[in-house]
Amino acid sequence: GENVEQHPSTLSVQEGDSAVIKCTYSDSASNYFPWYKQELGKGPQLIIDIRSNVGEKKDQRIAVTLNKTAKHFSLHITETQPEDSAVYFCAALPSGGGADGLTFGKGTHLIIQP
Amino acid sequence: DVKVTQSSRYLVKRTGEKVFLECVQDMDHENMFWYRQDPGLGLRLIYFSYDVKMKEKGDIPEGYSVSREKKERFSLILESASTNQTSMYLCASTTGAQANYGYTFGSGTRLTVV
């Protein structure tokens, strides 16, 4: 089955700086890669996703890049703000649908230092 | 907006009790999932269902069962609660045969077994 590795487990950046979180996946047939943000006391929320037919997608201060050859994808947050502090999860979905759905990384705790 | 509602935010149960965690979604989604979330381990899939009365085991089904009698409701059952089942439980739902439209998560139920 699919295996998703996520790094780093904790990331501390100064407010205003950029943050990058990286994930690798094992199943070359995976074709959908979402990112979720989980704030304290809440469930994860989808913030951006990318499909295997594109290499990059942007939404204001966040972007995701995908390198299918190397089987890795990354989340980029620019001009970080205090409200970006949260746990971020990457995930991958095999092209067969993965009847059991997404495989998640273990999460990155992003801390924005004032 | 799609809503996934988990009946309890916090629960405290005794060892050996039978515990029911309820999840309801309001957007006619076919697929529903139960995960548990533990520090350092990320989200681990317990059970999922892609239709009424259908259920499939995830990665860690031992000690759990599920019920899906109606499309909008997916219940997780701890047959005989044990202290190692103390965790955050997250329910999610999605549409699409291949679950590649992103999950909507509930806010979670933090279960403590004493």
Q: By CA distance, what is A34's nearest residue in B?
A: B102
Is the pLDDT confidence value at B99 over 70? Answer: no
Closest of B46, B2, B104 to residue A34, by C-alpha: B104
Closest to A102 (Cβ–Cβ): which among B90, B103, B104? B103
Asked if A61 is an interface residue toward chain B (Cβ–Cβ < 8 A), one would say no
Do residues B93 and B29 lie in contact, with contact meaning Cβ atoms separated by under 8 Å? yes
- Residue B27: pLDDT band with limits 50, 70, 90: confident
**Taking CB atoms and an 8 Å cutoff, what residues of chain A touch B98?**
32, 93, 95-98
Query: Any residues with CB less than 8 A from the CB of B66 and at least 6 apart, and which?
Result: B34, B46, B47, B49, B55, B74, B75, B76, B77
Closest to A89 (Cβ–Cβ): which among B40, B42, B45? B42
Q: How far is A25 from A68, CA to CA, in rounded Å?
A: 10
pLDDT of residue A53: 82
Q: How far is A56 from A45, CA to CA, in rounded Å?
A: 20
Do residues B4 and A69 lie in contact, with contact meaning Cβ atoms separated by under 8 Å? no
Q: By CA distance, what is A35's nearest residue in B?
A: B102
Residue to test with chain A: of B29, B100, B105, B107, most A Cβ within 10 A: B100
What is the residue whose two structure tokens read 């205090």? A82
Return the top range by mean pLDDT from B34-43, B48-57, B82-91. Answer: B82-91
Closest of B4, B12, B39 to residue B113, by C-alpha: B12
Q: By CA distance, what is B57's nearest residue in A?
A: A100
CB pair distance less than 8 Å for A43 and B41: no
Stretches where chain A sits below pLDDT 70 are: 95-100
Do residues A52 and A69 lie in contact, with contact meaning Cβ atoms separated by under 8 Å? no
Q: How far is B32 from A21, CA to CA, in rounded Å?
A: 28
Asked if A102 is an interface residue toward chain B (Cβ–Cβ < 8 A), one would say yes
3-state secondary structure of A78: coil
Q: Give the mean model confidence (pLDDT) for residues B50-66.
A: 93
Distances (CA, A) of B54 to B22, B31, B33: 16, 10, 12
